[in-house]
Amino acid sequence: MKLFKFIAVLLLMSLWQPVSAQEKLEDDVKDGSVDVADMLFGHIGDSYGWHITDWNGKHVTIPLPCIVRSSTGWHCFMSSELEHGHRYEGLFIAQEGRYQDKIVEYGENGEIIRPFDISITKNVASLMFTAVLLVFLVLYTARWYRRNDASEKAPKGFAGLMEMMVMMVNDDLVKPSIGPDYRKYTPYLLTVFFFIFLSNLLGIVPFFPGGANVTGNIAVTLVLALCTFVAINLFANRHYWKEILWPDVPVFLKFPIPLMQIIEIFGMITKPFSLMVRLFANILAGHAMILGLVSVIFVTAKLGPVINGSMTVVTMLFGVFMDCLELLVAFIQAYVFTMLSSVFIGMSRQEEH
Amino acid sequence: MNLMLPDSGLIFWMTIIFAIVFFILAKFGFPMITGMVEKRAKRIDDAISAARKAEEAIAHLDQEKERIISETRAEQAQMKKEAAQERDRMIAEAQDQARAEAQKIIEDARQKIAEERDAALREVRREVAILSLSIAEKIVRENLSSDEKQKALADKMADEASDLYGVSKS
């Protein structure tokens, strides 16, 4: 209770001098010393290079390959070519507008158009890293089973941890949700679980190989949700399709105007859509919260040592709390995505009752 | 806001990467782990059922043991009983035999006693007869020492003989 009072007083204190602080903050933003929104979106969004840190006023960025097919054909170059507004073979990074921070070129009439862009961006690099790490971890575990007779003894150490998690997903999520022929789906659902979980965990790590906002990117969750959509509908049984195309309702609801069918098909799409948005929004929000909390330290830097010092303490406390929460969320979101996927798959395989 | 717009390049890479990861893990990773764990679970189940069977067998053996013991007890009791009967029978037989023997001995003894007594009686009679003859001789000799006495005696004897005759006649 005392701690809460302390925090509340500190927060009130920071609100108490809005006028001067606001002016100062605006000055800072103009100076370019602290631009919270830019920093925040820069970190949770995608970028062509992997910005690690600033050192002596210089960006330390790992250049990543850009692969672009523009009107002049394929281009392949390192992202360092485009830094600081440089142009490379007619390509440049848009500073504003619809395609802000993306590689664009000028069209014939001088308008900005976006070429076909499959660059290895920060998120793609992080995805690759995650994928390699995941494959390594799982194959490392599988190697234990190849070398040892698993029916004689249980694995210890990392393989034991992996076994525990694999069997938790297998026995607690997949088996009860899908039913007797769950085996067909276990590899997919396990891959999804570990992929999301590892990506989430790496997202919390604040320095180089981690820190990218992979599962908080809608493209990534879109692909995952599409995979689940395919898994739901590809192996669905007759009963499932009958429920969608000719449900058990009075005829006037489904015959001249296919009202029920529209609702059912809409429901078919909302299931993976909810999966996509849930994961995306949770991870994005977590990253945004932590980054916002950290930036409080820099925002209050110009408000005097007392405020800045106390806010730093508060921010650190909140930051630790948020990081712990994010650890929990990393697991919960992977768990929920897998669980709902298996529940939806199980529903598509339900027999008539 | 471009956060809500999925980027086509990222979708492209994500699809490829996820497909590769899925392929590798589904082929070499997870089925290995789940299969082995299931094998182990099966083995543990088997071991448990085997243990249960063994337990049942032990319980069965216990029952068998109990049964055998009780059977043996019953047999023992039976044997004891039979032995006791046999003993009683033998004792009774022996007693009977002894009794018969004793009876016979007693009988013999009695017979012998009777014979002895008869012999003794005969001896005594003979003795008595001899004695009475000698007595009679002495008496006769005394009585016949004079004539009167001889005559008196002859009379008397004649009387007696007539009496005797008369008595026997009547």
E strand residue ranges, chain B: none
Q: Number of A to B CB contacts under 8 A, please give it.
A: 128
Residues of B in contact with A170 (CB under 8 A): 34, 37
Q: Do B15 and A46 touch (CB under 8 A)?
A: no
| Residue bearing tokens 């429920």 | A243
Q: How far is CA A231 from CA A131, A136, A187, B36, in A?
A: 21, 25, 12, 25
pLDDT, tens only, B35-54: 888 888 898 999 999 999 99
Please give the structure tokens belonging to residue A135: 């494959």
**Quick one: pLDDT at residue B166?**
66
**Quick one: pLDDT at residue A25?**
42
| Residue bearing tokens 């525990």 | A164
The answer to whether residues A228 and A341 touch, using CB atoms and an 8 Å cutoff, is yes
Q: Is A116 on the interface with B (CB under 8 A)?
A: yes
Question: DSSP assignment, residue B146?
Answer: S
The answer to whether residues A315 and A294 touch, using CB atoms and an 8 Å cutoff, is yes
* Cβ-proximal residues to A7 (8 Å cutoff; 6+ apart), any chain: A314, A317
Residues of A in contact with B48 (CB under 8 A): none
Q: Pick the closest to residue A62 from A50, A78, A53 (CA basis).
A: A50
Give ∠ CA B74-B76-B81 in degrees, rounded to 5. 95
Residue ranges of A 164-193 with Cβ closer than 8 A to chain B: 166-167, 170, 186-188, 190-191
pLDDT, tens only, A77-101: 888 888 777 787 778 888 777 777 7
Is ipTM strictly over 0.95?
Answer: no
Residues of B in contact with A135 (CB under 8 A): 21, 24-25, 29
Mean pLDDT score of chain B = 88
Q: How confident is the model at residue B16 (pLDDT cuts 50, 70, 90)?
A: very high
Within a domain: B71: yes
pLDDT, tens only, A125-135: 999 999 999 99
**Quick one: pLDDT at residue B3?**
75
Q: Pick the closest to residue B98 from B87, B86, B106 (CA basis).
A: B106
**Quick one: pLDDT at residue A222?**
93
Q: How far is CA A260 from CA A15, A229, A247, A252, A352, in A?
A: 54, 20, 7, 10, 19
What percent of chain A is predicted at pLDDT more than 90? 26
**Quick one: pLDDT at residue A8?**
61
The answer to whether residues A86 and A92 touch, using CB atoms and an 8 Å cutoff, is yes
Q: Say what the alpha-carbon torsion angle A323, A324, A325, A327 is, to the nearest 10 degrees.
A: 90
Kindly report the nearest CA distance between residue A219 and chain B, in angstroms: 4
Closest residue in chain B to residue A153, using alpha carbons only: B40
- Domain span at B130: 8-164
Q: Pick the closest to residue A323 from A164, A203, A236 (CA basis).
A: A203
Residues of B in contact with A188 (CB under 8 A): 22, 26
- How many independent structural domains does chain B possess? 1
Residues of A in contact with B21 (CB under 8 A): 131, 134-135, 191, 195
**Quick one: pLDDT at residue A334?**
94
Which sequence spans correspond to the domains of chain A? 65-117, 122-347
Task: Report the residue of B20, B25, B44 to disrupt the A interface, i.e. the one with the largest count of A CBs within 10 Å.
Answer: B25
Q: Do B39 and A151 touch (CB under 8 A)?
A: yes
Within a domain: B92: yes
Say how far apart CA B121 and CA B144 lie, in whole Å. 33
Q: Do A142 and B7 touch (CB under 8 A)?
A: no
Say how far apart CA A158 and CA A189 lie, in whole Å. 21
**Quick one: pLDDT at residue B168?**
52
Residues of A in contact with B20 (CB under 8 A): 131
- Give the Cβ contact number of residue B7 at 10 Å: 24
Higher pLDDT, A197 or A20: A197
pLDDT, tens only, B123-156: 999 998 998 888 888 887 777 777 777 787 788 8
Q: A117: helix, coil or strand?
A: strand
**Quick one: pLDDT at residue A84?**
77
**Quick one: pLDDT at residue A281?**
92
Buried/exposed code over B144-156 (b: 16+ C-beta within 10 A; e: otherwise): eeeeeeeeeeeee
Mean pLDDT score of chain A = 83
Q: How confident is the model at residue B69 (pLDDT cuts 50, 70, 90)?
A: very high
Residues of A in contact with B39 (CB under 8 A): 150-151
Within a domain: B132: yes
Task: Tell me which of A195-199, A252-256, B18-22, B92-96 is least confident.
Answer: A252-256
Please give the structure tokens belonging to residue A11: 């927060």
Among A118, A142, A187, the residue with its CB nearest the CB of B9 is A118
Q: Pick the closest to residue A91 from A116, A123, A127 (CA basis).
A: A116
The angle, 0 to 180 degrees and rounded to 10, between the axes of the packed helices A157-168 and A122-147 is: 100
pLDDT, tens only, A256-303: 878 888 888 999 999 999 999 999 999 999 988 888 888 888 888 888
pLDDT, tens only, A230-241: 999 988 888 888
Q: Pick the closest to residue B26 from A349, A195, A219 (CA basis).
A: A195
- Give the Cβ contact number of residue A335 at 10 Å: 17
Within a domain: B117: yes
pLDDT, tens only, A298-336: 888 888 888 888 888 999 999 899 999 999 999 999 999
Q: Do A224 and B18 touch (CB under 8 A)?
A: yes
Say how far apart CA A114 and CA A111 lie, in whole Å. 10
pLDDT, tens only, A10-50: 555 544 443 333 444 444 444 445 677 777 777 777 888 88
Q: Do A41 and B3 touch (CB under 8 A)?
A: yes
Q: Do A195 and B43 touch (CB under 8 A)?
A: no
- Give the Cβ contact number of residue B21 at 10 Å: 22
Kindly report the nearest CA distance between residue B54 and chain A, in angstroms: 21
Within a domain: B61: yes
